[in-house]
Amino acid sequence: DAGVTQSPTHLIKTRGQHVTLRCSPISGHKSVSWYQQVLGQGPQFIFQYYEKEERGRGNFPDRFSARQFPNYSSELNVNALLLGDSALYLCASTPSPTVNSPLHFGNGTRLTVT
């Protein structure tokens, strides 16, 4: 079975530009979450979607937005990129957003902002 897939794997953008990252969850998983991992730190929660509705967002500015499509895939959008947005962006899926269900992560998209 295919795991969580993310695209692209690497991306280089310039300050002020916009970026869209894509994620396909494991088949049958209806919940998708996004995390940002800055070099040398643990991942930080950005968004969670379940059944196409936003369930919550972490402490990130409004430049970050996301959506989930009818097939449960998801996009993360970041506007007006800053140098500090350079990070590994991880997408994770789970069958349901219960506290005991492990998140299954993709390989991530490594974003570099110059």
Partner 1 sequence: AQKITQTQPGMFVQEKEAVTLDCTYDTSDQSYGLFWYKQPSSGEMIFLIYQGSYDEQNATEGRYSLNFQKARKSANLVISASQLGDSAMYFCAMSQISSGSARQLTFGSGTQLTVLP
- Using CB under 8 A, list all residues that contact partner 1: 31, 33, 35, 41-45, 48, 55-58, 88, 90, 92, 94, 97-108, 110
Nearest Cα neighbor of 39 from 86, 82, 83 is: 86
- What size, in residues, is the chain? 114
- Cβ distance to partner 1 smaller for residue 14 or 41: 41
Specify the amino acid at residue 10.
H
Specify the amino acid at residue 30.
K
**Separation between Cα atoms, residue 106 and residue 94, nearest integer Å:** 12
For the bound state, the minimum distance from the C-beta of residue 102 to partner 1, rounded and expressed in Å, comes to 5
- Cβ distance to partner 1 smaller for residue 31 or 74: 31
Give ∠ CA 57-7-58 in degrees, rounded to 5: 10
**Residue found under tokens 């110059």:** 114
- Cβ distance to partner 1 smaller for residue 73 or 97: 97
- Cβ distance to partner 1 smaller for residue 35 or 72: 35
DSSP state of 41: S
For the bound state, the minimum distance from the C-beta of residue 31 to partner 1, rounded and expressed in Å, comes to 7
For the bound state, the minimum distance from the C-beta of residue 16 to partner 1, rounded and expressed in Å, comes to 26
For the bound state, the minimum distance from the C-beta of residue 65 to partner 1, rounded and expressed in Å, comes to 15
